[in-house]
Structure 1
Amino acid sequence: MPERKRIIVIGGSAAGPKAAAKARRLDENAEIVIIQKAPDLSMASCGYPYYVGGVFDDRNMLICTPTGEVRDPKFYLKAKGIVARTETEALRIDRQAKTLLIRDLKSGAEETLAYDKLIIATGALPKKPPIPGVELDGISTLQSMGDADYLRDIRDGRQITKAAVIGGGLIGIETCEALQLAGIDITVIEMLPQLLTFLDWELAKLVENHVRAKGANVITDNGIAEFLGENGRLTAVKLQNGTELPCELAVVAIGVTPNVRLAQEAGLEVGATGGLLVNEYMQTSDPNIYAAGDCVEALNLITGKKVHAPYGDLANLQGRAAGENAVLGNAVTFPGTIQTGICKVFDFAAGSTGLSEKAARAAGLTEIETVINASPDKPGFMEGKLLVSKLVVEKSSGRILGAQCVGPGDVSKQLAIWAMAIKARLGVEEMINADLPYAPPFSLAIDHSIATAHLMQNKLKGRMRGISCVEVKKKLDAGERLFILDNRAPEEFDQMRLGIGERLMPLGALRGRLNEMPADKNAEIICFCKISLRGYEAARVLEGHGWKNVKVMEGGVMAWPYPREK
């Protein structure tokens, strides 16, 4: 009988339990141990904001299986034959002896465990700003079950009236919603010029407008200078511009840093992003040690550069690969990521996959084209909801580099389509005839994603000269003379207008009113409508009658991120 393989997993959140479970399925005889510092195991950490917000009330739902079994040490031992030691800290890795020193946090007793293969899944630690007052009571993160319990107790007890969320990323926005739903007066404070930096500014601004419309205050371009308190408890935050905002709670959500102290002390290599350096097999610089989850860096499959991508789905995929390779040798790979992410923003969703325009240009991909599409996810008679998408492609080849989508419609479906297109290295021409499922309850006859590809094809072939809302605003602010046509119906114009000097010119009336167009055939004309389909058709009419500098404002009224007239 072959000698039993001994596999130790450090970390019991997402990647660690997944690695252990995969290893067990492939080797029934292996001795598998999980070392977990926290009292809980296999926590659905992405669910913390929804527990805090009261979407569900049973805490155990964060740590149970789909069938309702709590994933505690008894569950792991009985169901999987895995020894899970909670409230146990990993202290030191001895790579030469292939041992791990651990300490029981309840008794203080230390013990040395031998391993054949070690899997490090120590996750990430929340960043805290290095400013005065950061240790005051009332300052929290939302990184652990303890944090979730603390914030849920505040919600249930209605103990506070004002709170600040420091950071406008995924966790910050989800925390904002959770606390606002509890009736707490919320202010989101973001040091950068926009929320959700994985989006380009114009889409992020639409999200910001929505957050404000839901009653939360948003401050951008202004960071925290100091936490103020009395008797050791938070009373206010002071911004970098000197403004003081009273609050009794501050949730810091400014990102995470890989938790690699243990690995570094063992001499394992750390990459430029601060995450553990691993190859495609999730193997560290020590061939007997694998790593997965938020403590590692990954390869961005588009740029070829290493990134830190702390996403729950990637942690599970990496853990699965690490577990299999720890048992079978380097049999499977995790090739990398295109960094697909999504979050709920009240009744909006916002997400991206691949590269934003800003990220693409920062990566040196300057020969790109972008297009914005605003249109429903389903027909109007099925109560379709708005989607605003931005597509980024390589201009020469049409290869899809990235997509972003926001709105109350089915954002997740759009991102899933584009994520698979990017992974398959598809181009615009492959997407314009994509064979997607259609029926009115689910989609338009031409799905929003395919329509976005059509818009991009028109731009790449020179059939449409698009201009973004941001570019139009810049031109107006610079004092440029533009002839701006609103091609909506009069009743739409009366209900809402942009207030940028636009002239009402319904599409159906355009051919009969060409005499009102500029005499100069080279004059810059901007056409738009609600979503700019009619704007595109108007532009084609004008070009057919000899005007040479006609542009379509992409996304129309629905993509305009600035204040509108009503």
Structure 2
Amino acid sequence: MATTRVVIIGAVALGPKTACRIKRLRPDFHVTMVDQDEYISYGGCGIPYYISGDVSDVSELMSTSFHMLRNPQFFEKAKGVKVLTRTRAESIDRKAKTVRIRDLNTGQEDDLPYDYLVLATGSVANRPPIPGLDHPRVTSVSNLHEAVAVKEKIAQGEVDKAVIVGAGAIGCEMAEALSDLWGVETALVEIAPQVLPGVLDTSLARMVRKHLEEHDVAVHLGETVREVAAPAEGDGPLVVRTDHRELEADLVITAVGVRPSGELARNAGLAVSPRGGILVNQRLQTSDPFIYAGGDCIEVMHQITGRHFHFPQGSLANRQGRVIGTNICGGSARFPGSVGTFAVKIFDLAVATAGLTRKAAREEGFDPLFVLLVQADRAHFYPTQDLMYLAAVVDRRTRRVLGIQGVSHNGDALVGRVNAVAAIMAARGTVEDLSNLEVAYSPPFASAMDIVNALGNTAENTLDGLNRPLDPEVFEDLFFHGQDDRILCLDVRGPQNAAPFVARFGDRWINIPQETLEERLDQVPRDKQLVLICNSGVRSYEALLQLRKAGITNALNLQGGVAAIKKSGIVDLSGE
């Protein structure tokens, strides 16, 4: 009986995982990986940390947890997988079941036969149509070659100023990598009106922007790069021209996203999306049942919207590799899709999300409610507790949880919560499920009423009409930029906390502590639009109920309280 031949095109994340899974289940299968690069099986998500110096040597990104280098010899000797590097897959003949390959060193071409083919062709960095991007000091950081080149330039003292085009995850990570250790004067330019567009809603995105600026990163939002101009003579700085300003740079990094590399599949007649992503079923088969695909080159089913979307993540690639390997060996594994769980570290601030933002939910036809909560991530009396800023997006009609997002300095605590809520969303969970989510309790790890439960409770109260929330950015527009002098802040904190605000804003900011509110109702203006404010939004909610009981219904509750507007830079009384 002939040996089953499996050919895998791509050897970074999905390819090696698939190969190893196959050889563990069926050691008799002949598995060959083909990759056009000499670097294989590396952690691409670690590139910013290599450039920053947190990862000292590039080989660490290609090593196993027991410090063996994942090179072709490792795969052939330890895993029984043949690896052809510097070899490009040129085309697929589905009828003959062969792949035409070309050796990039010699130019020699050959046909590689397969019984099963796996496409792990990854993604390619987007290249915006901006004049000057072909200059040698302009680069992306989408592979190890670019990463090594960037780090060498910085280490040799050739970079004093850098401009990063794009304030998504990679752009923000690279801003930290350049400025934190190397002291490079760094500017971020983003065409959208916020950092991390499509990932965070405005309230939390403003907190991230403020954090970047506090670490000396210049952030320019709502700006389009028009040109990268070379120096008039010699080795002077480049000039990045936007529609608002000119920025000098010794290095320009483009970080404007990636797109799936589906050209090989399309040319072979396989089904691809309009965006170029290879379409697969839950078994990760393409439109040809003998060809599988996974990783960054495919589109997966979004478990909230039911639509295909591109979500390039190394974690997904590894899970999908196991599914593909199992199915090629005769199993029936399935990949159900994703809710888009995501995390990033920006200096000492963690950002984590899953599901939809409010804007995305609205575009998908939901009726979204955005709920923001600020609470300690551990018991309030425990020494290492810190505030967590956590928000949920829920559908008003069905009460379904559509999204979770947060920022926190205790990153593990935040990511743990977001991961738990992601599982709820994949199961079409509601705000009641969020309210009752079981969380392991101990003061060093959580509050007795954990922040995710409190977030669910807040969403319930809002949907049921008990809470009337006001977003921080809407408060800013009304109080600081609006012309309506009827807006009045009622601060229900203690006098000592409220005093700096009362002193600054005068009769527009009054203080009545919540515990004295019922006996001082005659001091509450009836002809004003009241904004109730406390440190986090909890005491102000109690005040809202007290006022409603007294027949005073002209009040809104500032979501996240003073903590949120300070964190986002809306109010800064640090010098007072």
Q: TM-score range by the shorter chain?
A: over 0.9
Q: Distance in 1 between matches of 2:326 and 2:572?
A: 59
Partner of 2:95: 96
Partner of 2:342: 341
Q: Distance in 1 between matches of 2:53 and 2:522?
A: 60
- Deviation per CA, 1:123-153: give whole Å up to 9, x if none: 0000112111111011111110112211222
Q: Distance in 2 between matches of 1:103 and 1:355?
A: 42
1:559 to 560, 564, 569: 564
Which residue identity does 1:430 align to in structure 2?
D
State how 1:258-407 maps to structure 2 within 5 Å.
258-328=260-330, 331-366=332-367, 368-378=368-378, 379-407=380-408
Report whether the alignment pairs 1:10 with 2:9: yes
- SS of corresponding position for 1:273: coil
Q: Offset at 1:286?
A: 1.5
Q: Distance in 2 between matches of 1:192 and 1:390?
A: 21
Partner of 2:34: 35
Which residue identity does 1:517 align to in structure 2?
V
Unaligned runs of 5+ in 2: none
Contact 1:139 1:234 in 2 (8 A): no
Which residue identity does 1:485 align to in structure 2?
L
Q: Offset at 1:493?
A: 2.9
Q: Offset at 1:7?
A: 0.2
Partner of 1:224: 225
Partner of 1:80: 79
Q: Distance in 2 between matches of 1:273 and 1:337?
A: 18
Q: Offset at 1:273?
A: 2.7
Q: Distance in 1 between matches of 2:55 and 2:224?
A: 33
Which residue identity does 1:193 align to in structure 2?
P
- SS of corresponding position for 1:382: coil
Partner of 1:201: 202
1:479 to 454, 477, 483: 483
Q: Distance in 2 between matches of 1:122 and 1:240?
A: 34
More displaced 10-residue stretch of structure 1: 553-562 or 186-195: 553-562
Question: Alpha carbons of 1:511 and 1:156: their partners in 2 closer, same or farther (altered >3 Å)?
Answer: same
Partner of 1:504: 511
Partner of 2:495: 490
More displaced 10-residue stretch of structure 1: 132-141 or 461-470: 461-470
Q: Offset at 1:405?
A: 0.6
1:518 to 515, 520, 525: 525
- SS of corresponding position for 2:188: strand
Question: Alpha carbons of 1:495 and 1:483: their partners in 2 closer, same or farther (altered >3 Å)?
Answer: closer
- SS of corresponding position for 1:49: helix
Q: Offset at 1:275?
A: 0.4
More displaced 10-residue stretch of structure 1: 305-314 or 480-489: 480-489
Q: Offset at 1:77?
A: 0.9
State how 1:410-425 maps to structure 2 within 5 Å.
410-425=413-428
State how 1:461-476 maps to structure 2 within 5 Å.
461-476=464-479
Report whether the alignment pairs 1:459 with 2:462: yes
Q: Offset at 1:240?
A: 3.2
More displaced 10-residue stretch of structure 1: 273-282 or 114-123: 273-282
More displaced 10-residue stretch of structure 1: 268-277 or 336-345: 268-277
Q: Distance in 1 between matches of 2:137 and 2:57?
A: 24
- Deviation per CA, 1:427-467: give whole Å up to 9, x if none: 12122232211111111221111111111121122221112
Which residue identity does 2:434 align to in structure 1?
M
Which residue identity does 1:313 align to in structure 2?
S
Q: Distance in 2 between matches of 1:404 and 1:194?
A: 15
Contact 1:138 1:233 in 2 (8 A): no
Q: Offset at 1:289?
A: 0.9
Q: Offset at 1:232?
A: 8.7
Partner of 1:46: 45
Q: Offset at 1:485?
A: 0.9
Which residue identity does 1:239 align to in structure 2?
R
Contact 1:531 1:559 in 2 (8 A): yes
Contact 1:138 1:234 in 2 (8 A): no
More displaced 10-residue stretch of structure 1: 190-199 or 485-494: 485-494
Q: Offset at 1:322?
A: 1.8
- Deviation per CA, 1:13-49: give whole Å up to 9, x if none: 1111111111112211000000011111111011111
Report whether the alignment pairs 1:160 with 2:164: no
More displaced 10-residue stretch of structure 1: 498-507 or 201-210: 498-507
Contact 2:421 2:434 in 1 (8 A): no
Q: Offset at 1:403?
A: 0.7
Question: Alpha carbons of 1:206 and 1:147: their partners in 2 closer, same or farther (altered >3 Å)?
Answer: same
More displaced 10-residue stretch of structure 1: 231-240 or 220-229: 231-240
Q: Distance in 2 between matches of 1:565 and 1:207?
A: 16
More displaced 10-residue stretch of structure 1: 550-559 or 471-480: 471-480
Q: Distance in 1 between matches of 2:57 and 2:171?
A: 23
Partner of 1:430: 433
Contact 2:343 2:351 in 1 (8 A): yes
- Deviation per CA, 1:515-547: give whole Å up to 9, x if none: 211245xx5321111111111122122222221
Give me the CA root mean square deviation. 1.8
Q: Distance in 2 between matches of 1:388 and 1:563?
A: 15
Q: Offset at 1:472?
A: 2.2
Contact 1:53 1:155 in 2 (8 A): no
Q: Distance in 2 between matches of 1:541 and 1:462?
A: 14
Q: Offset at 1:550?
A: 2.2
- SS of corresponding position for 1:174: helix
Q: How many residues in Structure 1 have an aligned counterpart in Structure 2?
A: 561
Question: Alpha carbons of 1:349 and 1:495: their partners in 2 closer, same or farther (altered >3 Å)?
Answer: farther
More displaced 10-residue stretch of structure 1: 552-561 or 484-493: 484-493
Q: Distance in 1 between matches of 2:382 and 2:188?
A: 37
Partner of 1:447: 450
1:545 to 538, 541, 550: 550
Which residue identity does 1:347 align to in structure 2?
D
- Deviation per CA, 1:201-222: give whole Å up to 9, x if none: 1111110011001111000000
- SS of corresponding position for 2:238: strand
- SS of corresponding position for 1:416: helix
- SS of corresponding position for 1:381: coil
Question: Alpha carbons of 1:506 and 1:123: their partners in 2 closer, same or farther (altered >3 Å)?
Answer: same
Which residue identity does 2:295 align to in structure 1?
G
Q: Offset at 1:259?
A: 1.1
Q: Distance in 1 between matches of 2:500 and 2:292?
A: 60
Q: Distance in 2 between matches of 1:35 and 1:252?
A: 28
Which residue identity does 1:371 align to in structure 2?
V
Q: Distance in 2 between matches of 1:540 and 1:316?
A: 50
Which residue identity does 1:245 align to in structure 2?
L
Partner of 1:246: 248
- SS of corresponding position for 1:29: coil
Question: Alpha carbons of 1:184 and 1:288: their partners in 2 closer, same or farther (altered >3 Å)?
Answer: same
Q: Distance in 2 between matches of 1:8 and 1:152?
A: 34
Which residue identity does 1:195 align to in structure 2?
V
- SS of corresponding position for 1:541: helix
- Deviation per CA, 1:169-222: give whole Å up to 9, x if none: 011110110001111000000011111011111111110011001111000000
- Deviation per CA, 1:75-131: give whole Å up to 9, x if none: 101111000111111111111111111122222222211000100001000011211
Q: Offset at 1:317?
A: 1.6
Question: Alpha carbons of 1:519 and 1:226: their partners in 2 closer, same or farther (altered >3 Å)?
Answer: closer
Q: Offset at 1:468?
A: 1.1
Contact 2:476 2:570 in 1 (8 A): no
Q: Offset at 1:508?
A: 3.1
Identity of aligned residues (%): 34
1:535 to 532, 540, 543: 540
- Deviation per CA, 1:277-332: give whole Å up to 9, x if none: 11111111222111111111111111111111111111112222222222316x11
Contact 1:499 1:564 in 2 (8 A): no
Which residue identity does 1:321 align to in structure 2?
V
Question: Alpha carbons of 1:35 and 1:519: their partners in 2 closer, same or farther (altered >3 Å)?
Answer: closer
Q: Offset at 1:499?
A: 5.0
Q: Offset at 1:506?
A: 2.3
- SS of corresponding position for 1:328: coil
